Amino acid sequence: MKRLLLIFTAVILLAVSAKGGDTNTFEYATIRWDGDNTYVILPSSKVDFVGKQLKAIKKPDRVDERSFYLNATMNSLGDKGYEFCGITGDGNTIVMKRQVTKQSDQK
């Protein structure tokens, strides 16, 4: 039984090391609520001002504007593989992350 466990462990370790130099890491996007000046900071450091685009989405009556449009922005980033990571105490800034695999230069 111990021998079988040892062989199984060795096979797993070999399979993991056979992946090569791939490493998993995260990249982050930040959503900042500021009404018409709402923007998203992408991992490339590009800033997308989305406030005016968000106004094209019809908000239901009696729904909080900030919550509704932040949710729409989060869903847009979710479609690109991002997931919720954190929020500031005032609720105006949301951080989203997604996992990326980077190829290592080592061979």
Domain membership of residue 99 as a residue range: 22-103
Q: Is 1 part of any domain?
A: no
**CA–CA distance, 26 with 85 (Å, rounded to integer):** 11
Q: Is 11 part of any domain?
A: no
Q: Is 10 part of any domain?
A: no
102 bridge partner residues: 23
38-56 pLDDT, tens per residue? 999 999 999 999 999 999 9
Q: Is 9 part of any domain?
A: no
Q: Is 68 part of any domain?
A: yes
User: Does 23 or 72 have the greater pLDDT score?
Assistant: 72
pLDDT at 71 over 80: yes
pLDDT of residue 17: 52
DSSP-assigned states of every residue in the chain? -HHHHHHHHHHHHHHHHTT-SEEEEEEEEEEE--GGG-EEE-TTS-EEE-HHHHTTSPPPTTS-HHHHHHHHHHHHHHTTT-EEEEE-TTS-EEEEEEEEEEE-S--
Q: Is 41 part of any domain?
A: yes
* Residue pair 87/73 in contact by the 8 Å Cβ criterion: no
User: How many domains, the chain?
Assistant: 1
2-25 pLDDT, tens per residue? 554 445 555 455 555 555 566 789
- Closest C-alpha to 39, from 24, 20, 61, 54: 54
Q: Is 2 part of any domain?
A: no
pTM for this predicted structure: 0.73
The model's confidence at residue 57, banded by pLDDT at 50, 70 and 90, is very high
SS3 97: strand
Q: Is 14 part of any domain?
A: no
